[in-house]
A and B are shown apart, each in its own frame.
Chain A
Amino acid sequence: MSQVLATPDRIKRLIVDSLHLEGVQPEMIEDEAPLFGEGLGLDSVDALELVVALEKEFGIKIKSQEMDREVFSSVSTLSHFVEART
C-alpha cells in the first residue's frame, strides 16, 4: 500500500481487496457513491470486514458505537472519519 496515495484511493483499494470485489477496479468507485444498500450493495458483514481492514491499514481503533450508517455511507465520509483519527 503506497503512502503516496490519497486516503480516498487507499480506501477504495481496501474495499476492493478486503471485500473480494472481483471485477471492480478501485478507480470505478466514486467518492460520493453509496456503498451500502444500493450502489455497491454491501451489507453489514462487509461493513465489519471493512472496519478490520481500515484499522489495520490506518493503525486506528474503531469502536462499535462509531460504526454508524453516516460514517460508512460513502468513500468520502469514510475518508473524513479516518483522517480525523490519524
Chain B
Amino acid sequence: MRHEKAIVAVSGVGAVSGLGWGVAPLWEGLRAGRSAIGSFRRFDHQLHRTHVAAEAVEDAPEELARIPGWKRLSVADRFAVAAAVEGLRQAGLPLRLGDGLAGDGEAGVFWGSSTGGMWEAELFFRDFVTARRRSRLRDLASHQVNAPGDALARHLGVTGPVQTISSACASGALALGAALDAVRSGEVDLALAGGSDSLCQLTYAGFNALRSVDENPCRPFRAGRAGMSFGEGSAMLVLEPLERVLARGATPLAVFAGAGASCDAHHMTAPDPSGAGAAAALESALRDAGLDRAEIDFVNAHGTGTSLNDAAEWNALRRVFGARASDLPVTATKALLGHLLGSSGAIEAVATVLCLRHGELHPVPSVEPPVFAATEEVDEDLPVALVLDRPLPLPEARAAVSTSLAFGGSNAALVFSRWGASMSQGD
C-alpha cells in the first residue's frame, strides 16, 4: 500500500573507536584486520574477571576541545559530538561549530546508547556514598542514555525530532531504522543517526557475571569461542534523500536500502537458538529494501563470539539464505572493535558502508580455522565463510546486511546497497 519509497543516501559518516578518532584510522585498521582489543586504562580492572577491551583513548581533535562546554561533557557525549562533526563535514554540509547547522530543511537526531554517562555516574556514586563532599552533582548531568544524542543536537542546533533508543545491543541499529523512516516520510530532510557508548564498570562487571566474556580477544564463529570482548566509541551516519545529496554535487557513500526489526520473545539473555527471530528481522529488512536475498553479497554479522549468539545467528543466516549461507562472505567487526553494546549497530553500519564504498570486505584476524561447532539445532556442520586476515575484494558487491541481535531478544537488521550498483530497487 505504500507509495514508492524515497531513496535514502548515506552522505557522510563519522566514528570514534579503539582504532582511533575518525573514520580514517577506523578503515585503515578494519581492512588490515587489526584488533584494538587489549589492555585498557579507563578504570582499574584488576578485580574484574577479565582484563581486555578496545578502548578509545582520549585523542579528540583540538578544534572539538574548543567547543564551549566540551570539558563538562561526558566521554560518551564527546564521542557522539566528534562523530557527528566528522560525518557532517564529509557530507559537505554547512556546519559552524557552536552556531549549528545552516541550510534549509529540518534535521533530526536518532541515537542509540546503552551506557550514556554511566562511567561518570559511577565515579559520582562512589563519592556520594563514601565521601559526599567530594561528589559533584553536575557529574550526573550527562548520566542518562539520552545525553549523548542530546549533546550533539544541542551543539549542532538541531530543531527537529531528537530521540534516543536504549534496547541493549540493538539500540544503534534501531535508531538507524527510525531515522530511515523519518527521512522517507519527509518528517526530516536530514537525519543524524548513530550511537555512542563508553566503557564503564557496570556493564563490564555485568557481562562478566553472566560469564559471557572471553579473557582473550573474542573469536566470533570459531570453534572454542569463549565469549565477547568490550569496546567503546561512537558512529554516525548522515542520511538524506538521494536527490538532496546529488543536488549539491555530493556523492553518496552508499544507499540505506532498508531496515527490519523483531523480537525473539524467548528469554531475557539467551537468543532463540533456532534463529527464527533474527531471521524475521532479516526478512523484514529485505522486504523493506525491496531486494531479493540473492542480491545480498556479504554480511556484517552481530558475531559477538559467545557460544549461543553465533550459533543462533548462523541458524538465522541459513534460514534466510539457505544453501547459499555457507558461501556468503561474513565479517564480524566485533573481533576488531569489541562490542560497543548500544552503539555496536551504528559502528557496524559504518563499517558496512565503508566496505561497500571501498569495494572490499574487512577481515577478522585468524586465530584458528573457522570451523563451526555443530549444536543440536544444526543438521550439518557448515562453516561460516568468515573473511580472515586479508580483505576480500568485492568491487561489484550489490548490497550487504548488518545484523544486531540484542540481550532481551530485540533484533535489528539493516540493508545497505552500493552506490552505483544497478539494483531491482528503484527500477
Task: Give bound CA distance, A28 to B210, whole Å.
Answer: 28
A2 within 8 A of B: no
B269 within 8 A of A: yes
Contact A44 B269 (CB under 8 A): yes
Given contacts A44-B270, A45-B268, A45-B269, A52 and B209 within 8 Å (CB-CB) = yes
The listed residue (B209, B226, B267) touching A48 by CB distance below 8 A is B209
Tell me the smallest distance from the CB of A42 to a CB of chain B, in Å: 13
Please provide the chain B residues from 194 to 210 with a CB less than 8 Å away from any CB of chain A in the complex. 209-210
Task: Give bound CA distance, A64 to B336, whole Å.
Answer: 24
A60 within 8 A of B: no
Taking CB atoms, residues of chain B closer than 8 Å to A67 are 211
Contact A64 B209 (CB under 8 A): no
Please provide the chain B residues from 388 to 406 with a CB less than 8 Å away from any CB of chain A in the complex. none
Closest to B214 in A: A64
Task: Give bound CA distance, A44 to B268, whole Å.
Answer: 11
Closest to B270 in A: A44
Q: How large is the interface on A (under 10, 10 to 19, 20 to 34, 35 or more residues)?
A: under 10
Q: How large is the interface on B (under 10, 10 to 19, 20 to 34, 35 or more residues)?
A: under 10
Secondary structure call for the A interface: helix
Taking CB atoms, residues of chain B closer than 8 Å to A64 are 211, 226
Taking CB atoms, residues of chain B closer than 8 Å to A52 are 209
Contact B268 A48 (CB under 8 A): no
Known: A45-B269, A64-B211. 8 other contacts (CB 8 A): A43-B267, A45-B210, A45-B268, A48-B210, A48-B211, A51-B211, A52-B209, A67-B211
Please provide the chain A residues from 42 to 67 with a CB less than 8 Å away from any CB of chain B in the complex. 43-45, 48, 51-52, 64, 67
8 A–B pairs (Cβ distance < 8 Å), ordered by A: A44-B270, A45-B210, A45-B269, A48-B209, A48-B210, A48-B211, A64-B211, A64-B226
Closest to A64 in B: B211
Taking CB atoms, residues of chain B closer than 8 Å to A45 are 210, 268-269
Interface string of B121-158 (1 = CB under 8 A from A): 00000000000000000000000000000000000000
Task: Give bound CA distance, A70 to B366, whole Å.
Answer: 33
Closest to A47 in B: B211
Taking CB atoms, residues of chain A closer than 8 Å to B210 are 45, 48
Taking CB atoms, residues of chain A closer than 8 Å to B226 are 64
Taking CB atoms, residues of chain B closer than 8 Å to A48 are 209-211
Taking CB atoms, residues of chain A closer than 8 Å to B211 are 48, 51, 64, 67
Most buried by B among A43, A64, A67: A64
Taking CB atoms, residues of chain A closer than 8 Å to B209 are 48, 52
Closest to B267 in A: A43
